Amino acid sequence: MPEYKSTAYGLFTKDGMGPRTRAGIFAVLGNRDQGRDRTMPGAFTKTITENARHFRHLWNHGFHAPPTAKVETVYEISKADLPEAVLAMAPDALGGAVVVRTYLDTDKGNEILAALDAGAINEMSFAYDAIKKEYVTENADGIEIECRVIREVKLYETSDVLWGMNPATLATLSMPVEMLAENLKSLVAELKAGRRNSEADMKLIQQIHDNCAALGAACAEKMAEPEKEEEEAEEPKVLSAAAALKEADALMVRLRLASLDLAA
């Protein structure tokens, strides 16, 4: 299953572009994000060269709906081209990845374009596979943590989103857990009423079930972690439960994405 990341730069610039064409920074490169990943400059080079014609621009990762915009181009920019707002929140950033897209003259395309220009939507996310990666230990506020350095990705799609799923730079981008719960409650109600029974719905329900089960297992693994001896507590150390926590975080991302798909 693809992974997802996001930024708060859905509208990077619209100067000098067509009336329906917009650019946005969908990935910040070089910084350590809250998922403990560093996506390095050059990570998109190969996928842009080999796979650009397959890129799609969607709304809320809606794989079951048509694209909302045509992807014109995807490219990386250097640190010098990053907006000051990005560098203020991610001073270790080394660059970014930009998608230029032209919104379709459809109800959904018009709706998103109007919301984007009005500032009602300002976040983007993208789906990818990490092709080349390595794990390193870094120091974060006196604690050693395991980080993933991503050097090559396979990009599938970019999306305008209500809430970014993996915060990297500005404000609070994660979907509230309360809204996740409400969306799942709505699904249960629609199931009981017989309104959600398509093949796509069944796949989504199975995905939610599998992710909930895996999330429970990851949390159980974390809870089973034995407490450290008091004399070791003050020593900086690699977090032994980091793998379980990272898996739990990833599963929560997938559940939130599935929940947004319910509302799409």
Say what the pLDDT of residue 241 is.
Answer: 46
pLDDT for the residue 172: 26
Most confident of the ranges 132-146, 178-192, 204-218, 250-264: 132-146
Considering the domain architecture, whether residues 47 and 131 belong to the same structural domain is answered as: yes
CB contact at 8 A, 17 and 30: no
Domain match, 121 and 232 both: no
Q: Of 50 and 240, which is predicted with more confidence?
A: 50
**Is residue 168 assigned to a domain?**
no
pLDDT by residue (tens digit) across 196-237? 667 666 766 666 666 666 656 656 655 555 555 555 545 444
CA dist., res. 28 & res. 83, Å (int): 11
pTM of the model: 0.65
Total domain count, the chain: 2
Element (H, E) at 243: helix 242-263
Per-residue pLDDT at 254: 57
CA angle 229, 234, 240 (to 5 degrees): 65
251, with CB counted inside 10 A (0-12, 13-18, 19+), is buried
- Of the listed ranges 20-29, 52-61, 141-150, 207-216, the one predicted with least confidence: 207-216
Please give the residue range of the domain that contains residue 123. 3-161
Nearest to 102 by CA among 77, 136, 67, 75: 67
CB contact burial 205-235 (16+ within 10 A = b; e otherwise): bebbeebeebbeebeeebeeeeeeeeeeeee
- If asked whether residues 191 and 135 sit together in one domain, one would say no
Do 154 and 47 belong to one domain?
Answer: yes
In a domain, 172, yes or no: no
In this predicted model, what pLDDT tens digit does every residue of 67-86 receive, in sequence order? 999 999 999 999 999 988 88
Of 161, 189, 213, the last residue of a domain is: 161
Instruction: Look at residue 12 and tell me whether its pLDDT is greater than 60.
Output: yes
pLDDT bracket for residue 2 (50, 70, 90) = confident
13 exposure class (CB count in 10 Å sphere: 0-12, 13-18, 19+): middle
**Would you state the pLDDT for residue 142?**
84
Does one domain contain both 137 and 20?
yes
Q: Which of 62, 72, 70 is nearest to 98 (CA)?
A: 72
